Amino acid sequence: MSNGIWLCVMCHTVIDKEERNYSPDLLFHWRNSHEAKITAERGKPKELIRLREEERQMNDFADVSLFAQQIIRDKPPGWEYQLTAEALDNLFTPILRRWKGLHAGSYTKAVGQQKPDHYLRWVGAQIPELPKIAESLGDLINNRLKEAWGARGCQETQKEIVHVCRMITARATRLLEWDEAMHFVTPAKGFEIPKHLSKGVAVVMEKIPEISSFLRSIFHEGKAIPGTYTRTITFDLSDDFDTGLEDAMEAGRLAYEKRGRRWT
């Protein structure tokens, strides 16, 4: 049982009442440490070998939570989906938190400045990357994850699931860096494209957590609810995105030409 830990009545009550002080990772650390201690003291040679092999395998998953590692160890029914939800939350949440902080004005970052004469061309060169990142994320979420889940009973499945979650996080990290560059670069006067493009980034960033939410919704108290579940995550920009982008480009062009420059 991945989410079970047996305690005395007193400790059980304290932990239930003080959830903030006793995180799942802390509880799993206690559990794993105790199991390792008992196995080392009283276990048979085969159990010691199994324990060492588990520890060796967990080295490949050091960047995910102890709960995710416990799912890998125990492999409860539907573990592939539980692992995906837990690993993705664990890896992506810091990126999402930083992105929200960016738009809340919680931090600044020295990205660099563009000369006014180069600004429009610089922005124009950045724009094509946004749909490429969104397309890559769509493929990872709707295709690669499905492929990773398909290899049931295969030892490599757990590695592939976490690998895909890492790649999703890597794309999200690049998206954050892209948004930071747009956010902090000094714009040409009258040029509002970075603000408009941030709306496109928001569409993508806010969609990623839907994966974990959907996967968790098919479980109740750790057990999968019988049925067939389908969910496609589509990174569609808003209907007015293209129009707004064209308007912003035109406004920027006019502002550029007012400076006595010709935009071609």
Q: Between 9 and 170, whose confidence is greater?
A: 170
Kindly tell me the number of DSSP H helices and DSSP E strands found in the chain.
12, 2
With b for 16 or more beta-carbon neighbours within 10 A and e for fewer, the 106-128 pattern comes to: eeeeeeeebebeebbeebeebee
Per-residue model confidence as pLDDT tens digits over 133-174: 888 998 999 899 989 987 555 667 898 999 999 999 999 999
Report residue 189's pLDDT band, with 50, 70 and 90 as the boundaries: low
Residue 223 has pLDDT above 90, yes or no: no
Res 43: pLDDT: 60
Are 111 and 181 in contact, with CB atoms under 8 Å apart? yes
Least confident of 3-7, 15-19, 201-205: 3-7
In this prediction, residue 180 carries a pLDDT of: 86
Contact assessment for residue 28 and residue 67, using Cβ atoms and an 8 Å cutoff: yes
- Enclosing H/E stretch for 219: strand 219-220
Across 11-15, 72-76, 184-188, 251-255, the highest mean pLDDT is recorded for: 72-76
pLDDT digits (tens, 9 = 90+) for 86-95: 999 999 999 9
Q: Is the pLDDT confidence value at 50 over 80?
A: no
How sure is the predictor about 123, in pLDDT bands with cuts at 50, 70 and 90? confident
Q: Which of 103, 127, 112 is nearest to 249 (CA)?
A: 127
CB atoms near residue 152 (< 10 Å):
7
Beta bridge partners of 185: none
Which H or E element spans position 220?
strand 219-220
Question: What pLDDT shows up at residue 86?
Answer: 94
Tokens (6 digits) for 199: 């709306």
By mean pLDDT, which of 42-46, 75-79, 88-92 is the weakest?
42-46
SS3 call for 27? helix
The percentage of residues in the chain with a pLDDT greater than 70, rounded to a whole number, is 64
Q: How confident is the model at residue 46 (pLDDT cuts 50, 70, 90)?
A: low
CA angle 68, 73, 77 (to 5 degrees): 80
Q: State which of 198-202, 240-244, 248-252 shows the largest mean pLDDT.
A: 198-202
User: CA dist 4 to 31, 167, 175, Å?
Assistant: 9, 30, 37
Query: What was the pLDDT predicted at 56?
Result: 67
Tell me what pLDDT residue 93 has.
94
Euclidean distance between the first and the last CA atom of the chain, given in angstroms as a whole number: 65
Say how many C-beta atoms besides its own lie within 10 A of residue 91's C-beta: 22
- Confidence label for 238 from pLDDT (cuts 50, 70 and 90): low
Tokens of 155: 């030892």
Over pLDDT 90: what percentage of the chain? Answer: 17
What is the average pLDDT score of the chain?
A: 77
Tell me which amino acid residue 103 is. Answer: H
User: What local confidence, expressed as pLDDT, does residue 226 receive?
Assistant: 77
Among 35-44, 94-103, 218-227, the least confident range: 35-44
Q: Which residues contact 127 (CB under 8 A, 6 or more apart)?
A: 193, 197, 245
Rounded Cα distance between 135 and 235, Å, is 8
- Residue 223's beta-bridge partner residues? 220
Q: How confident is the model at residue 97 (pLDDT cuts 50, 70, 90)?
A: very high
Q: How far apart are CA 110 and CA 122, in angstroms?
A: 17
Q: Kindly report the pTM of this predicted structure.
A: 0.75
